[in-house]
Structure 1
Amino acid sequence: MRRDQSLKGVLLAFAAFAAYSWSDASVKMIEGALSAYEMSFLGALFGLAGFPLLMKPGDRWTDAFRTSNRGLWLLRFFATSAGTIGSVVAFTHLSMAEAFVLIFLLPCFVTIMSVIFLKEQVGIKRWSAVAIGFIGTLIVLRPGFRELSIGHLGAMFGGLSGAISIVCYRAIGPSEKSISLYSAGVLGVLVICGLLMIPDFRFPTLEQWLYLAGYGLLAAAAAILMMYAANHAPAAMIGPTQYSQMIWAVLFGYLIFGDRVDLPMLAGIVLIIGSGLLTLARERARNVPLPPAVATDPQAAGAAKPES
């Protein structure tokens, strides 16, 4: 019976990351016709639809603003908004595969920041995973051999900001309500991007509204699916499913956006995904649980909580 429940959880996780991938493809379809701030704000506005379904028995609406550590809640508030902007910029200017492969550096950033800020002990295998990830990044970027764009910076910043959100979760601990962590991200995007979009606001066309609705609603649906997945399967089994997004990225790129994956990028993809899987394997070996999927970005679902 337990095996059946675990399989259900893994399948729900695959469905969640498929929804996240479709969400990212929706924002890419707008092709930069709106500012990244506006797309982030309107996507988060649609994402509010997930609030009622993320609330657990006994939760109140006021719990969205309650926290055991206001400083870390606010850090997540700002980090998530910055990461969302970075991700939107990345998917606007890069192929989906290239954007994902750089955002997948998130586990490397988490390892580094966990050592610096949480004083976590990290062994040679996890440091090796970090090194492999950054080697893969150099292969993908090929600095000096190709022109780098704001999209590359956005993808890197998206991964870094996601890592900050994860470290905030680690520091706060599992006692924090999911609705509080979710609201920190959504409200951060609404407030910050809402202010930044004002000078260059353009009213979306009907087609753009449809893409924006897909962007926000699919991301909210993915967060809900991840919550249910975590209720059925160990997080160590769920974490690796995030890399299924690369399959969607390659498919969307080839079928919709006319993108191609060359040999160096493929080698970089293999190295970075291998780096992330090695990190997850080390967390599983240490019997460390991962946090629940409460973030507005898919990568946060693969973060790990340190041992107490």
Structure 2
Amino acid sequence: MLKGVLLGFACYAAYAISDAFVKLLEGTLPIYEVVFFGAMLMLVALPFIKKPGDRWREVVMARKPTVWLLRAFCGAVGNLTSAIAFTELPMAEAFALIFLMPIFVTVLSVLLLREEVHWRRWTAVVVGFIGVLVVLRPGFRQLSEGHVAAIICGLTGAVGVISLRMAGPEEKRITLYGAGVLGPLLMGGLLMLPHFVWPTATQWLLVAGYGLLAGLAAILMMYSTRLAPVSAVAPTQYSQMLWALVFGYFLFHNRLDWPTGVGIALILVSGLVTFVRWNQVTTWRRRTRIV
């Protein structure tokens, strides 16, 4: 199991470095092009994700087409808003708002899946939203489209998680990954056509780092979940905040004020508590054969 957890840390390190490449572009390349070329490079992970019994057509042919389309839409919007957030905001602040995803999952699971949520998880939800208010401080600081994009990214990520539950175990990994990549590829390709800008050599290198590292992260995640339970691997996602603080301080020279730091801490604690409680409930239900 230790190897799986370590691969989880490596996976999210790759994701964090991938996001840093987006920020290094500094908005010099249209976001739609970044999303398109990044998604194209993420396709390199498909041969590694494909199992011996899988067929290539299953990348686009799902047992539940509606769920596939939902994941494709979430992938498109999530990649776009993620790129905007990391371009506009300090990395730590962007990650903090994106990490609202577990909180959104809790709310959506009640609204869409009719799951029962007890007071501890609702308390974590409230604490998380207080953290958001502390970070954003509406009326006391200027809010940007980056803040809105980061929150939307967290929300679409939560919808993506809900879609995984809707897909169930019968949907293949290659199908789910294909939806998450082909959605951004199609959307980015269509939106970049009217105002296409040919990237410079430096921009090509940065876009390549973004896409290839995201593909590598997907491969690492696949192997990590083979060697360790998802419940042990998932919390390693929060290690991205350490990378964000290091990159923000040494590479991008970002300085976070203390209220933002407090808000980020509240969001992280809320997300971790929400995840732990969800995992405990899920484990208990499986043991009692409720799910």
**TM norm. shorter chain > 0.5:** yes
1:307 to 1:19, Cα distance in 2 relative to 1, 3 A: farther
Distance (Å, rounded) in 2 between the aligned partners of 1:205 and 1:47: 20
1:33 aligns with 2:28: yes
1:260 aligns with 2:255: yes
Equivalent position of 2:6 in the other structure: 11
Equivalent position of 2:280 in the other structure: 285
Superposition map of 1:233-252 within 5 A: 233-252=228-247
Measured after TM superposition, the shift of residue 262 of structure 1 is: 1.5
Q: 135, 140, 146: which is aligned to 2:141? A: 146
Superposition map of 1:94-243 within 5 A: 94-243=89-238
Aligned letter for 1:246? Answer: M
1:18-51 deviations in Å (ceiling 9; x for gaps)? 0000000001111001111111011001111111
Distance (Å, rounded) in 1 between the aligned partners of 2:196 and 2:156: 25
Measured after TM superposition, the shift of residue 198 of structure 1 is: 1.1
1:153-201 deviations in Å (ceiling 9; x for gaps)? 1101111111111111111112110000000111111111110111221
1:250-302 deviations in Å (ceiling 9; x for gaps)? 1001111110121111111111110111011112322449xxxxxxxxxxxxx
1:67 aligns with 2:47: no
Equivalent position of 1:54 in the other structure: 49
Aligned letter for 2:99? Answer: F
* Residues 17 and 244, structure 1, Cα contact 8 Å, conserved in 2: yes
1:24 aligns with 2:19: yes
Q: Indicate the SS of the match to 2:116.
A: coil
1:117-145 deviations in Å (ceiling 9; x for gaps)? 11111111111111111111110111110
Distance (Å, rounded) in 1 between the aligned partners of 2:172 and 2:290: 19
How many residue pairs get aligned? The number is 287
Aligned letter for 1:54? Answer: I
1:193 to 1:277, Cα distance in 2 relative to 1, 3 A: same
**Unmatched 5+ residue regions in structure 1?**
1-5, 290-305
Equivalent position of 1:273 in the other structure: 268
Q: Indicate the SS of the match to 1:67.
A: coil
1:256 to 1:127, Cα distance in 2 relative to 1, 3 A: same
* RMSD (CA atoms): 1.3
1:128 to 1:55, Cα distance in 2 relative to 1, 3 A: same
Distance (Å, rounded) in 2 between the aligned partners of 1:54 and 1:114: 28
What is the TM-score with the length of structure 1 in the denominator? 0.91
Q: Indicate the SS of the match to 2:251.
A: helix
Distance (Å, rounded) in 2 between the aligned partners of 1:307 and 1:273: 30
Equivalent position of 1:300 in the other structure: none
Aligned letter for 1:267? Answer: V
1:34 to 1:97, Cα distance in 2 relative to 1, 3 A: same
Distance (Å, rounded) in 2 between the aligned partners of 1:138 and 1:78: 28
